[in-house]
Amino acid sequence: MGTMLFFGQFLVDLLLALAKAALGLAFLLLFCLLFARHKERKLGLACARYLCKALLVLSLAGPLSTLGSFLLFVLQFSQSNNVWQWPSLLSPAVLPYTVNVALWLCVPPLSLWLGTQLRKDSVTGQAIFSSVLLFCLCFASFFCLSWPFAGLPAGLAPSQAFAAIMIHTWHLTYFSLLPASIVLLAQVSICTRALAASQQSPQTISLVRRWLAGFGLAGAIPHCLNAWAVCAGYLMRAGQVPPTIFQNLLENAVLTMVLVALTLAVIHKWPQKTAFFEGCAVLCYIGFLAIPSLMAFLRTS
């Protein structure tokens, strides 16, 4: 049973990372459309079309990750109470999952409609409005997943809860640039031959890959610095440290390895070395995702 829970939790974490990548792709899609409208129209539109297709696929991970989290929640609740009970989808404890899935299901049809708008050679106001709406849907899905529908904690006003969850979701949005860049770099590494046969020059493809690595760095550096600061604060203060401090240190170390690999991918201009460092970043990020499930499995075994 513990092995099944380990693989189930890892699968949910992987789907959640892909859902976060979809949030980052929605942000990058809006950036590319604004870039195409004011700077390089041809390159910006080509990147926007590619991101729109990727967002269409990755948005399916949103409801799947929420469904997996919900099933794990029901399983753990049933094990602790020794009774199998399927809660109502409109109950306050389950309502965050229900609203999250409803918002995610609006993303694929809107992505398809935006894809038809991007077939034109110009960036229309409707395309920009659709990209803004896509980003708002992805943002609201993570916001609602954190909202306490069951009731606010004692002494906490709704405005304070709204501000705290809004700040948390914005931090999550900024960090989502890392999984988005990791997914895109992995796809670029797999589709090397297709990119070589495209109409884009090797210099342009290399520039786009370095930009993707740079976006990943921009999203991960604040999160990594904050995580190291929290661990340092726990270790330096008097008293007992949290039992999860080793897991936090391990996650921070692996995430730092991802940052180092992305930094080297940005610095080096040789395609072979860039592809190697991109592959190292992808593998290290997969290891970063596996750490919580692995530590939970080791604690229960």
Q: Indicate the range of 21-25, 43-47, 56-60 predicted with least confidence.
A: 43-47
Rounded alpha-carbon distances, angstroms, from residue 116 to 29, 55, 112, 120, 270:
15, 14, 7, 8, 36
Q: Comparing 154 with 173, which gets the higher pLDDT? A: 173
Whether the per-residue pLDDT at 18 is higher than 80: the answer is yes
Mean pLDDT (the chain) is: 82
Whether the per-residue pLDDT at 164 is higher than 80: the answer is yes
As a whole number of angstroms, the distance between CA 69 and CA 97 comes to: 8
State the pLDDT at residue 192: 54
What pLDDT digit, counting tens, does each position of 280-293 carry? Answer: 888 999 899 888 88
User: Is residue 177 a contact partner of residue 27, using CB atoms and an 8 Å limit?
Assistant: yes
User: Is residue 182 a contact partner of residue 228, using CB atoms and an 8 Å limit?
Assistant: no
As a whole number of angstroms, the distance between CA 53 and CA 115 comes to: 7
Rounded alpha-carbon distances, angstroms, from residue 135 to 36, 85, 102:
18, 35, 15
pTM, full prediction: 0.86
Q: Comparing 24 with 186, which gets the higher pLDDT? A: 24
Q: Comparing 6 with 98, which gets the higher pLDDT? A: 98
State the pLDDT at residue 94: 81
As a whole number of angstroms, the distance between CA 287 and CA 290 comes to: 5
As a whole number of angstroms, the distance between CA 109 and CA 63 comes to: 14
Q: Comparing 145 with 205, which gets the higher pLDDT? A: 145
Reading the block at residue 116, the tokens are 């038809």
Q: Estimate the crossing angle of helix 2-38 against helix 158-175, to 10 degrees.
A: 80
State the pLDDT at residue 78: 67
